[in-house]
């Protein structure tokens, strides 16, 4: 799901890959990944048949990587829990 030729920092170039956005919680004692979201390219979100075949919900709209990060951070910031997890 979401695989296409796109820039990936892991390879440092354009490759056929999946890309995810991660949110981490960091304190002087260490850090932990607290959320992640798969980046689904616009070419996927605009192709309903392709999304359905891959099991992607019909209501998934394209979101840029920065928008995904803001959405995850906002969800954590506004949650009832004062600590991640």
Residue 30: strand pairing partners:
27
pLDDT at 80: 53
Q: Quote the CA–CA distance of 30 and 20 in Å, as a whole number.
A: 22
Residue-by-residue pLDDT tens, the chain, 85 positions: 778 888 888 888 888 888 899 999 899 999 999 999 999 999 999 999 998 999 999 889 999 999 999 999 998 888 755 555 5
- Which letter does DSSP use for residue 62 in this model? P
The alpha helices in the chain, defined as continuous H runs, are 42-45, 48-54, 65-78
Diameter over CA atoms, the chain: 47
> Under a CB-based contact definition with an 8 Å cutoff, are residues 19 and 39 in contact?
yes
| Parallel, antiparallel or unpaired: strands 4-8 and 30-39 | unpaired
pTM: predicted TM-score of the whole model, two decimal places? 0.77
């Amino acid at each position: 799901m979401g695989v296409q030729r796109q820039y990936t920092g892991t390879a440092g170039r354009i490759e056929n890959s999946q890309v995810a956005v991660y949110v981490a919680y960091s304190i002087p004692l260490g850090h932990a990944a607290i959320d992640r979201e798969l980046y689904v390219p616009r070419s996927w979100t605009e192709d309903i048949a392709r999304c359905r075949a891959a099991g992607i919900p019909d209501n998934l709209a394209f979101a840029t990587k920065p928008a995904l990060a803001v959405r995850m951070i906002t969800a954590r910031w506004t949650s009832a829990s004062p600590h991640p997890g």
